[in-house]
A and B are shown apart, each in its own frame.
Chain A
Amino acid sequence: MAEYSCLIVEDSPMMRQLLVFALARVKNLRVTEADDGVDGLRKLASARYDIIVTDINMPIMDGLKLVKRVRTDPVHKDTPIVIITTEGSQEDRQRALQLGANAYITKPIQAPQVIATVKELLKIE
């Protein structure tokens, strides 16, 4: 059975923990955590990931910059990206989708929604 890898980029430890718990329900999905965009890029440079889940609002490098950088990375330019936003940041969401993000989830996040979005993008039953 195929094994998938997911990179979670999120500055809030609580949200990271929540996402890790949620994605642990997806079979054969290995999850790696990154604290912010810079840490995310570092991890993307050292390994190949099948999907990226990133928050928009983060210090040092936000989710928008990360999406932009990932789309110019030859290894990950086609990797699906899920962004996590708040309802109020509709502009950010539109911008992220324009930059190449594939889906978005609004806060407060619901584990079943996270699982369904990731499964859909990875085409897992």
Chain B
Amino acid sequence: MTKDKQSGGAESGALGTNLKTERDEFLKKFSRGTQLTEDFVKEHERMQSRLQDLETENAGLRAKVEADQAVRELLKKIDRLEQEKSDLVSQNRHAEAITTEFTARVQEVESEFANLANLFVATNQLHSSLSPRGVTRRIKEVLAQLVGAERYAMYLVNPEGEQLIPIASEGVPGDQLLPVRIAGTRIGDVLRKGSASVADTDPSRGTLQDPPAVIPLSIDDRVVGTIAIFSTLAQKNKFDQVDFELFKLLGQHAAQALVAASLFAQAEQKLPGLEAFLDLSV
């Protein structure tokens, strides 16, 4: 029994040692497992945190990509708008060019109309009187009001064809209004050649000796007189196109109107009989 007890005690001691060892090992293992678990938990937390960071980063990158896309679209829109603006500017320039051209054309037509009105009025006036005095007054009015002549004289050639005799004038002192020889004078040259002589100089500065414009007066192909413009009004410092047209008109109509009025006056204002018109063979 004692032996048994002794052997039982030894066995019990050995068993206790084993249990202690096992316990220690278990504790060691448990402690390690705990450590590992803690490490896992920590790693898990770290991974969670990292995942969160990555998700945040990902969201940021997504937003950036979306923003870049929006910028690209905006840039495309800007390009399109720039193109539209360029087209509109081009169209506007084209429209402006057309408007400018149109305005210039309208002004040209208005100016042409004004010139034609001047010529119409001048012709109308020249033929609206059948008295020599009336015709002369109207010729003077055309010169003064339409051409802007200040000093001028109208001459008719004498029957001998040697001199030009002044028959009307304005602004020329009586003692300086003398007959003009046809030979060797500028006024006479215009009569001989039958074409107007207009100087390029400022007509408002003209003189009696050097008239800026001399116009031949014709009846059919015969030159029967001249008009000499010695100077124009101060503001009339050049002759315009319409003035040249008026010179032509005066050249062709003034003498005819004057002669017709003179013949009518000589006929004591009697109209010719019907027979004068019956044999016209027209």
Contact = CB atoms under 8 A, between A and B. Distances in A.
The answer to whether A and B interact is: yes
Contacts of B128: 13
A77 interface: no
Contact of B145 (A12, A21, A111, A112): A12
A107 B107 CA distance: 21
Contacts of B130: none
Nearest to B125: A14
B233 A110 contact: no
Contact of A12 (B120, B124, B141): B141
B233 A87 contact: yes
Interface in B107-143: 107, 110-111, 113-114, 117-118, 120-122, 124-125, 128, 138, 141-142
A76 to B, nearest CB: 27
B227 interface: no
A88 B114 contact: no
Given A21-B117, A25-B110, A108 B145 contact: yes
B141 A14 contact: yes
Nearest to B146: A108
B146 A111 contact: no
Contacts of A115: 110
B148 A108 contact: yes
A22 B117 contact: yes
A77 to B, nearest CB: 30
Contacts of B145: 12, 14-15, 18, 107-109
A56 to B, nearest CB: 13
Contacts of A17: 121, 124-125
B74 interface: no
B113 A87 contact: no
Interface in A94-121: 106-112, 115
Closest 9 CB pairs of A and B: A111-B114, A108-B148, A21-B117, A87-B235, A87-B234, A14-B125, A17-B121, A18-B121, A14-B141
**Interface bracket on A:** 20 to 34
Contact of A110 (B107, B114, B121, B138): B114
B274 to A, nearest CB: 31
A108 B121 contact: no
B138 to A, nearest CB: 7
Contacts, number: 58
A108 B233 contact: yes
Contacts of A13: 125, 128
20 contacts: A13-B125, A13-B128, A14-B121, A14-B122, A14-B125, A14-B146, A15-B145, A21-B117, A21-B121, A22-B117, A25-B110, A107-B233, A108-B145, A108-B146, A108-B147, A108-B233, A108-B236, A111-B113, A111-B118, A112-B114
A86 interface: yes
Contacts of B236: 108
Interface in A52-106: 86-88, 106
Contact of B233 (A14, A18, A25, A86): A86
B117 A88 contact: no
Contacts of A15: 145
B67 to A, nearest CB: 53
A7 B8 CA distance: 156
Interface in B140-165: 141-142, 144-148
Interface in B94-117: 107, 110-111, 113-114, 117
Contacts of B107: 112
A54 to B, nearest CB: 15
B114 A22 contact: yes
Interface in B147-187: 147-148
